[in-house]
Amino acid sequence: MTSENGDHGWAMPRIALVAVLAAGFLAFLPSLLGGFLADDFTYIARFSRLKISEWPALFTKEWSGGVWGFPLRELRPFAALSFIIDSRLYGGNPVGYRVTNMLLHLSAVGLVALMTWRYSRGSLFAAVSAGLIFALHPAHVEPVTWITGRVDLLGTVAALVFIVCCERYSESGRVAFAVTGLIAIFVGLFSKEFCMLAPLIVLSKWLMLDFSAGATAWKRRGIVLGGSIVLFGVYAFCRTKAFGAEAAGANAWNDINAWHRHASHLSWLVPILPLNGLEEWASPPAVATAKRIWIASVGIGLVALLAVRIARSWTWACVLFFSVIWYLFTLVPLMVVGYFTPRHLYFPSVGLAVSLGMLCTMPRVRYLVLCASIIPLAMSHVLVLRPWAKAGSISRDVLGRVHAALAPGHGSYVLITAVPEKFETALLMAWSMPAGASPPFMDLPPSSKIIVRPGNYVRPERWFDELQPAVVLKESTEGFVLYVDEKGAVISRRLDLRGVRFASESLDAAIGRGLSPESYTEWVKMLATTTQ
């Protein structure tokens, strides 16, 4: 980026950077005091008990430790290390974990603003606009407010540090940038798999936008890219050691469900697109139609990128690169992921933010672009954040009720709970037990038992056999029942011996009628609201 990108450096004015970071912080402030949600309980409980001496083994072992009843094909030792450190620092206080997520998000916001500052040749309006767009994007609510979602935050920060350091090493030749970039991509590879795309992205950027940089710059680029290839080899060796030979994956190109997920991803990435809920359309497009639309759209984008490069329009070249090329590298691979989740858009949304920021360098349209971007994103952000913030509040209330019940120091008892897996669109306590009933979240008395809603159990398909609710109740003399309704209201009360016996008899009757998650919930509601 020497000849075509001007002489503007990377020193973005601090006051502007602080303003963007402040906006990012305020956007998520309502969720900062929320509690643990869903997988948070399982992973934090696991890594709070893991000795630091056992951590290196995670480079060749999947990180969940089989807590779900089956192995995950995920090598994420640095994400695990972040949980190990947080658990030592904060124990059962969720605020500290959420602060870590917030700091990672703000780091990504700052890097997006900094990249846009550099690529826009020092346009403060463009850099601030890109930072605000990224800070407020509604797809970021899940990874920032859900502690377990930090794997996407950590991976994205690592990838962006790598890209920035590659650019700076190419320009200056300072070895510190090359070393920092390679450390970042190493951390990223072992945090989230998408980081392997970062070297391909930066190489494509150099080939398409900055090919005439000169022999010295290309020699430096070869060094840092060569280093990343070596680290890819290390990562591939560790994956083979952990999982053996891996299959090529699903054929998403011919899978209509993959195209439906892709449409939903696009509608989250650009909230004004009317594609969400495609699977609910009366006549969804056929695979062949989806392919034609996709090929035509991408083809037009690539032709436009070639045309503006021939015309030597730096701004439009950046706009098209960070929209079309970034999209191809980061969003298309998500088609092979067998489920939809907005948090997977954290890294893809970087391209959207930078491309819109680059459009804001054009005086005639900058305010129109900014308003047309910020207004729908901010409105969507508020709507998406509300249930996640409420879910965090419910979680704190639930744990608070249990802690209050434990305060008098009662002996062994049975804890009976029914909490929704989700609150509206946000995760609440899906797959959270029995980890949520163990330190650092709860410290049940010895020999105490827990009976939870099947969807709250870490292995729902084994709920009845592993929890044995009927046997547990027959052996208990004291209990505590806690029920959360669909609106988030928390109801709880103690059960004496008579109450436990009533619970046992009524559960036997429910089992005789055929116990289901719904009838189990009604049973817990009855125990929590009825005085025997």
**Average pLDDT, stretch 96-108?**
97
> From the centroid of its chain, how far is CA 119?
27
Query: Under DSSP, is residue 495 helix (H, G, I), strand (E, B) or coil?
Result: strand
C-alpha separations of 312 from 263, 318, 354, 371 in Å: 33, 11, 19, 28
**Average pLDDT, stretch 12-26?**
94
Do residues 524 and 492 lie in contact, with contact meaning Cβ atoms separated by under 8 Å?
Answer: no
Question: Residue 282: pLDDT band by 50, 70, 90 thresholds?
Answer: low
Lowest mean pLDDT segment, chosen from 27-41, 201-215, 280-294:
280-294
pLDDT for the residue 460: 87
More confident residue, 128 or 479: 128
Q: Give the span between the Cα atoms of 289 and 186, in whole angstroms.
A: 40
Q: Give the span between the Cα atoms of 169 and 76, in whole angstroms.
A: 27
**Average pLDDT, stretch 184-203?**
96
Task: List, as one string, the DSSP characters of 126-161.
Answer: HHHHHHHHHHH-GGGHHHHHSGGGHHHHHHHHHHHH
Task: List, as one string, the DSSP characters of 376-430.
Answer: HHHHHHHHHHHHHHHHHHHHHHHHHHHHHHHTT---S-EEEEE--SEETTEE-ST
**Average pLDDT, stretch 76-92?**
95
Question: Residue 251: pLDDT band by 50, 70, 90 thresholds?
Answer: confident
- Mean pLDDT over each residue of the chain, to the nearest integer: 90
**pLDDT at position 25 over 90:** yes
Element (H, E) at 232: helix 215-243
**pLDDT at position 147 over 80:** yes
**Average pLDDT, stretch 261-283?**
73
pLDDT (tens digit, 9 = 90+) per residue, 443-463?
777 778 889 999 999 988 889
Question: Residue 276: pLDDT band by 50, 70, 90 thresholds?
Answer: low
State how beta strands 479-484 and 490-495 pair: antiparallel
Read off the amino acid at residue 481. Answer: V
pLDDT for the residue 5: 41
- Does the reported pTM lie above 0.75? yes
> From the centroid of its chain, how far is CA 458?
19
C-alpha separations of 277 from 138, 261, 297 in Å: 17, 9, 21
* Percent of the chain scoring above 70 in pLDDT: 94
**pLDDT at position 70 over 50:** yes
pLDDT for the residue 240: 93
Question: Residue 3: pLDDT band by 50, 70, 90 thresholds?
Answer: very low
Do residues 59 and 112 lie in contact, with contact meaning Cβ atoms separated by under 8 Å?
Answer: no
Question: Residue 258: pLDDT band by 50, 70, 90 thresholds?
Answer: confident
pLDDT (tens digit, 9 = 90+) per residue, 116-130?
999 999 999 999 999
DSSP state of 70: S
pLDDT (tens digit, 9 = 90+) per residue, 378-419?
999 999 999 999 999 999 999 988 888 776 555 668 899 999
Read off the amino acid at residue 205. Answer: K
Counts for the chain of helices (H) and strands (E), in that order? 20, 6
HSE, side-chain direction, 13 A CA sphere, residue 147: 33
Q: Give the span between the Cα atoms of 480 and 446, in whole angstroms.
A: 15
pLDDT for the residue 2: 40
Question: Residue 442: pLDDT band by 50, 70, 90 thresholds?
Answer: confident
pLDDT (tens digit, 9 = 90+) per residue, 359-378?
999 988 899 999 999 999 99
Cβ-count burial 402-433 (b if 16+ within 10 Å, e if not): beebbeeeeeebbbbbbbbbbbeebbbbbbbb
**pLDDT at position 100 over 50:** yes
Question: Residue 11: pLDDT band by 50, 70, 90 thresholds?
Answer: confident
Q: Give the span between the Cα atoms of 168 and 327, in whole angstroms.
A: 24
- C-alpha torsion sign, points 315, 319, 321, 326: positive
Alpha helices in 5-76 (DSSP H): 14-28, 39-49
Question: Residue 267: pLDDT band by 50, 70, 90 thresholds?
Answer: confident
HSE, side-chain direction, 13 A CA sphere, residue 168: 21
